[in-house]
Amino acid sequence: MSWYIESVPVLLEHCFLTLLSILPYLAVGILAGEFLKFTSWTKIIYKRVNASPIAAVFSAAIIGMISPLCTFGTVPVVSQLYKSGVRIAPLVTFLAASSLMNPQLFVMTVGGISDFGLEMALVLAASIFVISFALGILAYALPEKFIVRRDFTRDSEDILGRAKKIFSAKTYFFNCAKMLKSVGFYVLLGIFIGAIIELYVPQIWIHEALGAHRGVRAVLFAAVLGIPLYACGGGAIPLANSMIQSGMGKGAGLAFFIVGSATRPAPLSAMALLFTPKFLVGYTAFLLAASVLIGIFYI
């Protein structure tokens, strides 16, 4: 009991210091992401994804990665674009890229992963581009009825005729605060779990299970671990950083990031509004396999 009481201040201090190191990057990411919502990026998406197949998928991957929206915000946009006549393949690319990467996550990864945060963020971004691009190309080969639910109807929506949003400081800062509240819980949860791992779990355990020398086995184990432990991008960063500091290899860390974001039940439920169950199963399996493969190459 006395050990428990004495360890609490140490745990809280560790959590507080970790939060201080991440907070500036979290703030910058949220401020930048919310500002993009006042731009004409929806119209840009519409124009770019109506190009030739290769150009459409390439553009959709890039725009999706710089989109400030998470899956819950991206699904309505994809639905609107599909209703307006855009082919489903580049929209699959856009949705995958937007769900797996955004400006907030990139900035937070740079600041939240000790020693090689910028490298991890760049490799993660490149990996997500490759994965989402490949998904789009594969989607062109699939029949549309396999991808889109039969009860999802199309109608005409004037995307290009929409008025540009007027910047409002009140709305901007309100949305920033709302995003901080939404992400903040998972960030704190990730910091807390990460602190427990870093302080109380013997490093030799993590090094043996997830160390770089374990190769393929470590990447596979990290991918499986990402399914139950990945709450959101912001919350996963301090957790992954703690495991990396305790001996987890870079390739395993990369697989943990990608698999966790791809297999969360809540975003998949949102996607079920548009996509068929068969496609969602294939989508998830592809992301799992691709992330493990990329993680192996990054060892």
Question: What is the pLDDT averaged over residues 16-39?
Answer: 71
For 158, half-sphere exposure in the C-beta direction (CA atoms, 13 angstrom radius) is: 4
| Percent helix, percent strand, percent coil in the chain, to nearest 5 | 80, 0, 20
Asked if the model's pLDDT at residue 136 lies above 90, the reply is yes
Percent of the chain with pLDDT over 70: 70
Asked if the model's pLDDT at residue 126 lies above 90, the reply is yes
Assigned token pair, 124:
């993660």
Question: What is the pLDDT averaged over residues 146-172?
Answer: 69
Buried b (16+ CB within 10 A) or exposed e, 66-76: bbbbbbeebbe
Rounded-to-integer distance, Cα 108 and Cα 69, Å: 15
Report pLDDT for 223: 78
- CA-based nearest residue to 287, from 183, 119, 75, 138: 138
Give 278's contacts (C-beta < 8 A, 6+ positions apart): 146
Tell me the pLDDT of the chain averaged across its residues.
Answer: 76
Give the bridge partners for 148, in sequence order: 275
Return the amino acid letter for 214: R
User: Rounded to the nearest 5°, which phi and psi values hold at 275?
Assistant: -100, 155
Q: Which of the pair, 288 or 39, is modelled with greater confidence?
A: 288
* Residue 285: pLDDT band with limits 50, 70, 90: confident
Asked if the model's pLDDT at residue 213 lies above 60, the reply is no
Assigned token pair, 40:
């004409």
Is 85 in a helix, a strand, or coil?
Answer: coil
258, 100 in Cβ contact below 8 A?
yes
Asked if the model's pLDDT at residue 4 lies above 70, the reply is no
Asked if the model's pLDDT at residue 84 lies above 80, the reply is no
